[in-house]
Structure 1
């Protein structure tokens, strides 16, 4: 394999001149540059990314730890993260842990050995906790997306989940519903509690009493949506509407309604949260709260790159605002002048 020394010998220049030509790090006359590049082409020389990274202590690589989830929300975020890494000429190494702490330890050690420049952390599992040893190993520049089970010195990007919960519930109230159940994620997750708080605020503002028997704590997955909706359908009286705190919960709720021989948007209304791509293709299409996966990823990558370049920056928390996407899963109950922006 050809080296810079080989190029320098054949081009009759110094190795430092070859380096300046290849890395475009200093002015070199056109005559010398053309001479060096001709030898580069002749020898089919490819610079060693590893050697360069060891020299400048930068690998142009970002690691992303995801604890694993079947929730399409995370796949959509991941796709956007990779796109923005590519735009900034960074490679992305994805590490799934499948909810296994030992696997996380091994994957983390692998990322450290690969000398990633920084980490993006995204936790999907509310029932899973990090041990102290793992937390102490996380000393790289980091950004936490959405939620992480332990406190870390890291920048954070999340959405205003309390406002999102408020907006979802207020939409159902404005559509004429007053008996509204809510299916949450685990209360170990702050965003689940935040969405519940938003639900309670909207009820309070409308003068609707909060009822604990209308709150169903579960997980952000389809199975939990099925099980919780089955319980809701057995209530007497049955709520006219349900706020599913994720679109995956809503998908499970749809399945339970269908199994009961009922119809979403007619017999019971459902509003979701996240606006995953699949939401628009449900029958009927799902009304939901949109949080921008693309913007979440963009901000995370840009905050991490800023942290890599300047580790002394104060830690920041960025909050993104959600908005309503109205579709056909919510019935209007005796209201007039109800206007929404259809997306």
Structure 2
């Protein structure tokens, strides 16, 4: 098993180091894999003049799975399109056709009081949001900023073809079958033609899954429902833009964006695994970032990317153990808990994993 490690920018290297610690514990126990690290994002631009060097893309293609940290930084926001750190991640998704993004929204019992929502609203919450990742406004053409009649005009194109919709819909229905046979598709079919096609194709795909209960919601109604009654949802499937927004909204149900992992998978089962919190440059290199989303992303990589479900279960159990023991990073701190730094949290999860050696 070959793992590409792409730490990236901001807090990416710090949190990725903690995930690698966990992988090293498993390797010491006999799990065989090799890992290779490469530059991506702003650090790659600084070193090579491009956020996605050819060597990094080649490594991503060779690897069985990719563990990604974060990309970005305030200093890169004025770079031309194509040279910004975020363009590198978009390019990897497109080049490897990582069309299905899995974002689990799960509450930990030990963190229920860290959520801004009432305990009884979020206890036992387990939602899986599947976001289409390689089309929509992020990739549609035409796009850009131009002058028209003396005015600056910005254009982005919401684009979907029926094949793109159908394949992510099949993925969502198959996932719902493995869970509780409930799927909610989120769109804006009452206003947008691209979303009208989305709903039509999802309904067509649904014919092949009579055992899955399908519902539809407009995105504005879905945003409201997520905060009014989140436990009504099991699997949600939606487009790239809406998935980006709704997954961040849903993250606050759990108490912190720093707790959420994700996986982006292609048709061959190859995946890129990353925390969803972004680069957070304002807290980078201060040993205060929460590494648990990165560690949980490594667990998703073990389960979905490397077919090691037992190892994934153990990593997740180790995370639950340190939380139950009262350890917290600053973003999830509660009265009576012990606040620790990034490195100390990674060490604690590694220790819990060793203690639970099989």
TM-score category (smaller protein): 0.3 to 0.5
Q: Please, what TM-score do these two structures have when normalized by structure 1? A: 0.33
Name which structure has the greater RCO, CA cutoff 8 Å, separation 6+.
Answer: 2
Q: Please, what TM-score do these two structures have when normalized by structure 2? A: 0.32
Flag the structure with larger Rg: 1
